Amino acid sequence: MHPTIETRYLNLVEELGLGRREEVSTIIPLTGGVASDIVQVIVGDQRLCLKCALGKLKVDEDWRAPVHRNRAEYAWLEVAAQMIPESTVALFGRSQQSPCFAMEFLEGDDTYLWKTSLLNGTLNVDEAISVGQAIGKIHARSASSAFSTEPFRNRDDFYELRLDPYLKFTASRHPAVAAHLESLVERLYEASSVLTHGDVSPKNIIFRDGSPIILDAECATMGDASFDIAFCMNHLVLKAVHLPAVRSELLNAALEVWGTYVHYVHWESPEQLEAKVCELLPALMLSRIDGKSPVEYLTEENRQVVRKLSLKRLQTPCISLERLMTSIAYQLENDR
Ligand SMILES: Nc1ncnc2c1ncn2[C@@H]1O[C@H](COP(=O)(O)OP(=O)(O)O)[C@@H](O)[C@H]1O
Ligand SMILES: [Mg+2]
């Protein structure tokens, strides 16, 4: 590890009162993400996870984002700790001097990253249900007038981190649907009805004792509820393309996320929200092929399948998510 990065973590341990720098025995970088330097640190006999935001993200395209998003992330994790205490990581403070914070290092026998188990073809529908519940509770509670929105007026960061690299960049590569994608960007930018996490991806969800702990809330903003649900379903749909042996289970799990979540929707009509998810999901599918953060596990043939499928569904949106999943399943089996 570069000495200045090591010094940064040693300073953070001391600033947050977690121990003295001499007590730090190990600093191990964690992999998987593109937006942060994140490490496991052992201080005395305590294992911690320290995370600092990067100004330039680790992707091929030039993608920069303001590091103060680390503040929004910490604030989201604090809100989650109150709203869904069964599903949270313990927090140990955020730096006043650098865009960094400390949290519990999640580990143990019944602890696993959802992405790893999904890519191994191991899927339990209860996982999808519990994720739908967790997002539903946070959206529903944040839609109340008593909720303090001050730390989450972050739509410009959300634009930099999500709308521009995913939808706008994809619009620039697909003139046939560019106007449609631009209109989605505008609608999502203007929205502020609920607290959205912005990155509900299996690589950001660690299950511990059956409860999903949602991490990596750098994109948190007051926004449109459709984003988190479509984003999460998209990850399951793309894995269904990749893994034919568990395809129907994955598409069913995507539907279960929605089917569980919809019971919490009180701030707008569930039908209207479902229509928005039906429209956004194909847009996000296409964005993971031709946006700035392409999915890494699909073959070129499967990328082409997703392109064709998502363009078709963008041009002719389905009227329900059940129909959308059925049409995706049909196309994957019959119309490659
Ligand atoms: N508190 C934690 N305990 C254990 N592992 C973690 C913790 N937080 C993150 N990780 C692991 O590190 C990876 C990257 O962390 P993440 O917060 O998602 O950073 P990035 O913004 O770079 O994606 C996650 O995918 C997860 O595997
Ligand atoms: Mg991540």
Average pLDDT rounded to a whole number, residues 324-333: 95
Per-residue confidence (pLDDT) for residue 38, from 0 to 100: 92
pLDDT one-digit tens code per residue, 274-291: 999 999 999 999 999 999
Residue 157 belongs to domain with CATH number: 3.90.1200.10
Q: What is the mean pLDDT of the chain?
A: 94
Would the pLDDT of 336 be above 70? no
Domain shared by 120 and 27, yes or no:
no
Domain shared by 184 and 101, yes or no:
no
Copy the structure tokens of residue 1: 């590890």
Spatial separation of the C-alpha atoms in residues 215 and 30, rounded to whole Å:
14
Ligand 1 pocket test, pick from 215, 235, 293 with the greatest ligand atom count within 8 Å of Cβ, gives 215
Q: How many CA atoms lie within 13 A of 212 on its CB side?
A: 27
Instruction: Evaluate: CB of 309 within 6 angstroms of ligand 1.
Output: no
Per-residue confidence (pLDDT) for residue 246, from 0 to 100: 96
Domain shared by 98 and 128, yes or no:
no
Per-residue confidence (pLDDT) for residue 335, from 0 to 100: 67
Domain shared by 100 and 112, yes or no:
no
Per-residue confidence (pLDDT) for residue 238, from 0 to 100: 98
Where among 105, 137, 154 does a domain terminate?
A: 105
Domain shared by 133 and 276, yes or no:
yes
In order of 19, 170, 171, 293, the CA distances from 284 in angstroms are 43, 9, 11, 11
Least confident of 21-35, 183-197, 264-278: 21-35
Where among 73, 105, 137 does a domain terminate?
A: 105
Ligand 1 pocket test, pick from 5, 27, 30, 58 with the greatest ligand atom count within 8 Å of Cβ, gives 30
Name residue 206's amino acid.
I
Residue 60 belongs to domain with CATH number: 3.30.200.20
For tokens 């992999």, what's the residue?
31
Q: Band of the pLDDT at 56, cuts 50, 70, 90?
A: confident
pLDDT one-digit tens code per residue, 205-264: 999 999 999 999 999 999 999 999 999 999 999 999 999 999 999 999 999 999 999 999
Domain shared by 200 and 87, yes or no:
no
Domain shared by 67 and 204, yes or no:
no
Domain shared by 92 and 112, yes or no:
no
Least confident of 29-33, 118-122, 233-237, 261-265: 29-33
Where among 57, 76, 105 does a domain terminate?
A: 105
For tokens 């073809």, what's the residue?
121
Domain shared by 56 and 120, yes or no:
no
Average pLDDT rounded to a whole number, residues 287-300: 95
Give the ligand whose atoms come closest to the C-alpha of residue 218: 1
Domain shared by 35 and 165, yes or no:
no
Per-residue confidence (pLDDT) for residue 35, from 0 to 100: 80
Instruction: Evaluate: CB of 203 within 6 angstroms of ligand 1.
Output: yes
Per-residue confidence (pLDDT) for residue 167, from 0 to 100: 98
Instruction: Evaluate: CB of 219 within 6 angstroms of ligand 1.
Output: no
Query: What is the residue range of 312's domain?
Result: 108-336
The number of beta carbons lying within 10 Å of the beta carbon of residue 1 is: 12
Question: Closest Cα partner for 274 from 230, 236, 232, 312?
Answer: 230
Average pLDDT rounded to a whole number, residues 142-162: 96
pTM: 0.95
Average pLDDT rounded to a whole number, residues 135-161: 96
Stated as kind and residue range, the H or E segment containing 231 is helix 225-242
Average pLDDT rounded to a whole number, residues 131-136: 98
Average pLDDT rounded to a whole number, residues 117-138: 96
The number of folded domains in the chain is 2
**What would the DSSP string read from start to end of 59-104?**
SSS--B--TTHHHHHHHHHHHHHHH-GGG---EEEE-SSSSEEEEE
Spatial separation of the C-alpha atoms in residues 182 and 193, rounded to whole Å:
20
Would the pLDDT of 3 be above 70? no
Minimum CA distance residue for ligand 1 atom 12:
30
Residue-level length of the chain: 336
